[in-house]
Every structure is written in C-alpha cells, then in structure tokens.
Structure 1
Amino acid sequence: MSTPSAPVDVIALGQPTFGEPELRAIEEVFRSGWLAGQGPTGKRFEEAFARSTGTRHVLPVNNCTAALHLATSALGLRPGDEVVVADYTFPATGHSVVYGGGRPVFADVRPDTWTVDPQAVEAAVSERTVGIIAVDTLGQPADYAELEAIAAKRGLWLVEDAACSSGATYQGRPAGSFGDAACFSFHGRKGITAGEGGALTTDREEIATQARKTHNFGIESALSRAGTTGLPVPQFDEIGYNYKLSDIAAAIMLAQLERQPELLKARQVVAESYQRLLGDFDLVTLPHTAPDRTHSWQTYALTLDPSVDRGRVATELRSRGIQCNFGTYASHLQPVYGATAPCPVSADLFRRHLAIPMHANLTEAQVERVAAAVREVVPAAR
C-alpha cells in the first residue's frame, strides 16, 4: 500500500451540523438572562422532546450516563442487585449499574443487528436480577417486544439505552418510548447534539418525579419556587446529584430537534451510498437494519473479514485523511467489571468492527472517496 505524500483533506469520522439556527437560539438564551439549568428554555425543550419521543415526561440532563444513573436509582436499584446489560456498548451502560452498588451481568448480542439477544437476556436472569438495560446499538433499536415480555414475565424493570438512537423507530414507535424509562445522549457524535447533554424519558410519573428531584441535589428547582410567596427555603432530605442541563445547551437542542428530520435523511443517504459502493465487496459485511425498525446511523461500522488486520487498515485510512475507529466495546472484556461469562458474538464484533465516516455533512464525493479507499486498503491488509 502506498501512502499519499501530499496533504489531503481530512474526512471526519463524526461531525455535528451547526449554523445560524443554533446561534440564534444561543443568543436568545443570553438575552433572557437565564443560562443555568432548569430554566424556561429547558422547559420548552422538555415539551418538544416529549412530543418527539411520544412520552409523557422528559428530564434534560448533562449526559446519558447521568440519565442511566437516575433511571436505575429511581427504579429502586440497591447494592447487591443484578441487572442484565447488553454487552456490546460503551461501558457507561454497565457503569450506571455499578454506581448504585449493583452488578451488571452482560448478555450477548445478535450477530445481525448487534442488539442484545433476548434469549441471552433470559438465560442471564437469576434470583438476584431486578432489571434489564437494552441498548439501541449504534442507532438501531433493540427487540423491545420480546424484551418487554421477558421483563413482564419475570417481574423486572426495563431501561432503554437510547444514547445513539434519537429519531430511530421500532415497529412504528419512536426510540425512547420503550420500557420503564429511556436514556439519550446529545454528545458531539450523535445525530442531534449540543456537544454534551442527555435526557431521560418515561411515561411513569413516579420515575420522573424521583429523577427530577435527585438530578438537582435532591431539591425542587429554582424555577418551580419562583412563583411562591415569601422566601421558601428547600430542605435536603436525601442525597442528590448535579446532573442538570444548562439552558444554553437546551436552546441548541431545540434548534437541533427542529432539524432532525433533514439530518436523519442525510445520514440515511450516506448509508445507502455505502451500500451501493461496498455491497459487493466480499471482505466486509455491511450493517443490517431489521425490517421492523429504522436506524438513526449514529455510527456506520464495517465488519471486516477475519483475515484482515484491522490495525493496518486503520493506519492506512488515516494516512489518507479518512478518520476511522473501532465500533464500540465488548463490555465483559473490560477488566473493571471482573466478568467471567463469555459473550462470543460481542467479542467477535469488538475485534472486527471498523467505524468509517458517518455524519450529515458528508458529500457524495467524500463517501465515494471513503469507499474507494476501503476497497484498496482492506485487501492489502490480509
């Protein structure tokens, strides 16, 4: 393989889409004087995101990990409890269980959609199991019909880790509307983003009430106290956290939410172009979207043939100005958890996945350049 000697334009692995709508939204917040969290702009975002996800309650937070922590806590996770967790995911999912003193028990994933295998979930349930956390892997929702049935039969709660899937659907319903609660990320690589941020969605009022209290140190918000007479002094009767989303970030998210349909469409076009350009290339397997769901395409991951040296491919692509990375983590292999049960499908994906550029700003010429480079580099890395 030859490395180009002349500088080339870098094609980003992920990239947010920002512009005048976001700048105007930020300016409005600055003019309002309320920049901190839980303000009027945050309230407007709650209402808009509730409409988008088809849920009754939305709590904006500073990241998805905070949302997961709040959800598991509100659902009653206690030290010593076990939670079955989809294995192929960023470790924040497992971490959220550990934060509450629980033990994540990792369940293997499907080889086609990379979402948690319902049969593996059922096999992992023990007498200590209290809940399940499914993951919408890289933007594709999990099998919620089967998972909700397992949770109901076993008397378990179910949380949807929707970090990557805002705008995706399962059987006609939007991501974020499944289980007892769902948790979103608005990190810079997500389909809609404020750079950082997240949200918890739920239809259960008691979960929303408890999470809203504990995300703000365990007291009511200043905005909710603003209309009262006198000088109400809140009391701290339980430990809470500082997980609020600023109104600046909420304003950005309002603008991003309005643009979401066009951003989703642009990512879908990129995915279709990769399918056209790489669909007949036998050294890679392309992502599969199940027929009863839609994909938000937060990440586009190729599964390389076992004969291919992924590290060599990555090095060569990067030398050509094409950013890439691994897919996500096989959580059970991370030493922090001390897990012993194997998840062979997840482990195999962890070894062979290669994420290539995917975002709404990619041009057709850039996608063609990426695909051509993959076709050239991969065979030479065997």
Structure 2
Amino acid sequence: MTVLPLQSLSPAAVEDALIRRGVDQGHAAASARGMRSVTVVIDDLSTEQRDLVLAEARRHGVECLTGERWALLTGGAAALAGLVHPDRTRMPLALAERLAALVAATFDPPEAWVMGRGRISLDRPVIAGILNVTPDSFSDGGRFLDPDAALRHAESLIAMGADLLDVGAESTRPGSVGPVPVEEEWHRLAPVLRALEARFPEVPLSVDTVKAETARRALDSGAWAINDVSGLRLDPTVADVCAAHDAGLVLMHSRGAFDEMASYAHASYGHVVAEVVRELTGGAAVAEAAGLDRSRIVLDPGLGFAKTPEQNFEVLRDLPSVAGLGYPVMVGPSRKRFLGTIMGRETLDRDLATAAACVTAYLGGARLFRVHAVAPTLESLAVAYAVRSA
C-alpha cells in the first residue's frame, strides 16, 4: 500500500495524478481546481456581521473560526463559490464581492500586464532591468548619466534577458537629496529615453517618477508605463496622466516624505502585511477612479521602503496576501540592505541573495522582478518556473 500526500502538491500535480489513474483531462482539471483551498481573514467586523459570516460559512460548508471582531474562512473552490455568489449568500453584498475577488485572484490570476503599446504575458517570470540615470543611487549612482553609457548598459541588460527596462532619474536611497525638480529629472531622462526608443522600439520602457508632469513627458516620449514609488501618495494625478495615455502603472508601497521613504522613520505597523495590503488597495482605488483599467495596474509591496529587515522578510513570506488582491505583483529586492543582514554582504555582493528573494516571491505569486543583475535572477527563476510547471 502506498499513500501519496497530494494535498502538498500543486494543482498541476493533482491533475497529473488523476490522469495517470484514468480520469479524463477535463474532469481531472476540474477536480484539481476544486480541491484547492483558500484561507482569508476578515477584520473589523461588527458582532452582527461576524455572526452572519459564521452562519453563512456553516451553511456552505466553509470552515470558520471567529474572534471578537474577526473571522477566518477556509474552504475549497466549490464551497467558496457558493459562499460568495450574490444569489446564494446572505452576507452583505460588498463583503461578498470582496471575497469573490480574492477567490478569483487565487484560482484565476492575471494573465498579462497591459501597458502602453502592448501587453506582457505573465505566464513566465518577467524581468525588469534597472537603469538608473542618477548621480546618487545606492548601487550604481553616476555610472549611467551619460546617454551613451546608459544605452550600452541597456543593451547589456536586454542581452542578458531583461523583458523590459525600468529607468529612473531620482534616487530614493537613504540620505539621498530629493525630490529632484521636474526640469532636472527630465534633463536626465530625456536623452536616455530618446536613445532607448530609437534603439529598442519594441522593448517596453517603464519610468520611475512620482510627478505627473515627468510622467506625461515620459509617456509622450515613448515610455509604456510609470513606476510610482509613492503609490500615488505624493501626486495622485499621476494616475490621470497614465489613464489619458492608456499606460501601465506600478504602485509601490511606501510611507513618509520622499526623502524618508527608504528609512525606518515610518516602519511602525500593527501587522505589516495587512497594512501594506490596505494601503496598496487604497492606491489602486485612486488609479481606477481616475479611469485606469485594473489590467494596467501592478502592485509592488515596497521591499526596503519603510520596513525593517524583519518586516521585509515577513512581507516576502506573506506575499500571497498581496497577490490575492488580483493585480499583477512586482517585487524589487535587488541588492537591498535587508538582504545584506543575512550574510553581511556589501551592496554589490547581494545578487545571489536577490535571486533567492525573487524565487521566494515567485512562489508567493509575484510575476515581475525589478533587478540590477539580470542573469542570476533569470536563471534562478527559470528553475523555479520549471519546477512549478512540471
């Protein structure tokens, strides 16, 4: 007699196990999907809401634990589908819709990021090569201010396997001088964007900025997306600019003023992941209210921004909570100081740790990875993808 713990395997492995035992592919796929479970916790419930959630969970065969103002639900696809269906549940419609979105994100994650002139498939890990045209970035400040040097580095990133280029002209490192005035930021960006657009017209370009005017100029000059490290906190009209250009938009979690974001000044959390999720959800709501379709929005939990080393590792561990919001997830752990705390490595010696963090994030639902060193991350993610797809 052989006992195989299928619950520890991926849906693909469950489907394969059923097919090997004579189940046709359609039924095997449906069964594998139905066996997957989702666990969610709902906070800030009134006593009446909590009791209603508990009653509805029991009625639909969903496990439910409750406390004074919270409820934790665990169930398979079929049971949860009934619990959140508007015609089958007695829960408040807003709560049912929120739970339905979480369930859908778990079972049907985003297939692509729609941005600018095209879309990027999320079937495989996507690498964003970092190109900083700043004098003071923590890893490569001053190296690529010259447009020719920037172009050569872009060629190298693409040759190593970068799927898109993420260009920034304003450093957020601790102690950096900022924010940079729009004209200075654009003076650094403009020649590089022109050169990249001429040399690599089919390579998507993302531009890091927190300013609507810089975003407008960048998108007019060929950028496909904007990466806002403030998550629209500093200038919500960045969302309006992106919507007007049908551009992609990355919303990164951070706190504090521009020159505080990478410090620990605002790293006080009751529950770091729950608060990151709540604050990212708020930014996404602002973007959608501005007219930006959710297929164009990417969320980034902001590793290294307003988080202690321990909090960064907690975010990586609980990244499925961010992916469960239903948007594509990007992470940017590249050479961050929290990685240096593990082995005591200096900034330029953290590429292996970066690759390990990216693999961890991939297994937690991230699909876009912003890195300085493309090759080690690409190779590590290729192994993770092969295992997940086997």
Higher helix share: 2
Normalising by structure 2, report the TM-score. 0.30
Normalising by structure 1, report the TM-score. 0.30
Tell me which of the two structures has the higher relative contact order, counting C-alpha pairs closer than 8 angstroms and 6 or more residues apart: 1
